[in-house]
């Protein structure tokens, strides 16, 4: 199956889906407040970013794509790389501990200094447009050797009605989506992915509805050189429906005894 790139135009809602009027308007990107430079590119874009639109993955799962939502995002990327206390996490995988192939950090905009003042404006804008998120996580994929395998954000526990927002800074890389029904089709191209949103510098990606219950996503490792990528991640759940059973992403994995 051919992988579909993130649509530049909103797709029509499926039967029974919420009307377009009920969809949230992508938040206004904040002004990062830099001193004027000779003939600089626009720091921010007024109104929704070009290409903003909602893609319906199925009748109950959706993703909003706002290209170039944060202008001149490379400045924020550099500040995060230099000032954040990045942490190397480890996970237990099949009889041994391994380093997670990315670095992580947590930011609570209400506490402590921020790596760049625009982060407070970004946080407020995303909250105003979607849900009352708390703080936000950060993941730094340093180069092509870093990545994250197929997964759902099951650590939310309640996945039937969620909103997960991602602001990408840095290099453009694949961000693949596949329905859970494809997870056992090991011979499928790209692991069964049907969408590659491929977010780049300053793009805002928001997944909602049952996207964490019925869909999986990944940032695959690459065979060619690529620069660093940081994603800021906000997560919310309504706690509707039945909670997930079983271990989450960070739980140890072992060989079956059967």
What would the pLDDT profile of 225-240 be if each residue is shown by its tens digit?
A: 999 999 999 999 999 9
Span 97-116, average pLDDT: 92
The structure's pTM equals 0.81
Q: Total structural domains in the chain? A: 1
The residue range of the domain holding 223 is 54-237
pLDDT beyond 90 at 200: yes
Give the lowest-confidence range in 19-23, 27-31, 135-139. Answer: 19-23
Mean pLDDT of the chain: 85
pLDDT at 149: 94
Q: Count the alpha carbons within 13 Å of 94 in the hemisphere toward its beta carbon.
A: 2
> Looking at the domain assignment, is residue 248 inside a domain?
no
> Looking at the domain assignment, is residue 6 inside a domain?
no
> Looking at the domain assignment, is residue 42 inside a domain?
no
Q: Give the sheet arrangement for strand 148-151, strand by strand.
A: 4-5, 195-196, 176-179, 215-219, 148-151
Per DSSP (E only), the strands in the chain are 4-5, 53-56, 61-66, 87-92, 97-107, 136-141, 148-151, 162-170, 176-179, 195-196, 204-209, 215-219, 229-237
**Alpha carbon distance 134, 255 (integer Å):** 36
Span 16-23, average pLDDT: 54
Instruction: Write the pLDDT tens digit of every residue in 125-155.
Output: 999 999 999 999 999 999 999 999 999 999 9
Span 14-37, average pLDDT: 58
**Alpha carbon distance 14, 16 (integer Å):** 6
CATH number at residue 171: 2.60.120.590
pLDDT at 90: 86
> Looking at the domain assignment, is residue 48 inside a domain?
no
> Looking at the domain assignment, is residue 32 inside a domain?
no
pLDDT beyond 60 at 37: no
> Looking at the domain assignment, is residue 87 inside a domain?
yes
* 83, 77 Cβ separation under 8 angstroms: no
């Amino acid at each position: 199956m051919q992988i579909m790139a993130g649509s530049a135009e909103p797709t029509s809602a499926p039967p029974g889906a919420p009307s377009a009027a009920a969809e949230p308007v992508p938040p206004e990107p904040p002004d990062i407040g830099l001193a004027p430079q000779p003939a600089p590119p626009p720091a921010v874009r007024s109104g929704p970013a070009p290409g903003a639109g909602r893609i319906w993955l199925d009748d109950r799962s959706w993703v909003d794509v706002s290209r170039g939502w944060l202008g001149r995002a490379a400045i924020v990327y550099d500040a995060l790389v230099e000032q954040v206390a990045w942490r190397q996490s480890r996970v237990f995988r099949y009889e041994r501990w391994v380093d997670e192939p990315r670095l992580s950090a947590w930011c609570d905009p209400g506490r402590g200094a921020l790596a760049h003042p625009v982060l407070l404006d970004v946080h407020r804008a995303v909250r105003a447009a979607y849900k009352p998120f708390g703080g936000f996580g950060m993941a730094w994929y340093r180069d092509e050797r870093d990545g994250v395998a197929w997964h759902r954000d099951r650590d939310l526990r309640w996945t039937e009605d969620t909103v997960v927002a991602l602001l990408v800074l840095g290099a453009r890389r694949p961000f693949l989506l596949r329905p859970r029904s494809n997870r056992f089709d090991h011979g499928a191209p790209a692991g069964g992915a049907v969408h590659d949103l491929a977010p780049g510098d300053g793009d805002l990606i928001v997944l909602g509805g049952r996207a964490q219950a019925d869909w999986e996503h990944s940032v695959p490792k690459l065979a060619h050189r690529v620069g660093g990528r940081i994603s800021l991640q906000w997560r919310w759940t309504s706690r509707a429906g039945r909670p997930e059973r079983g271990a989450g992403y960070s739980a140890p994995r072992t060989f079956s005894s059967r």
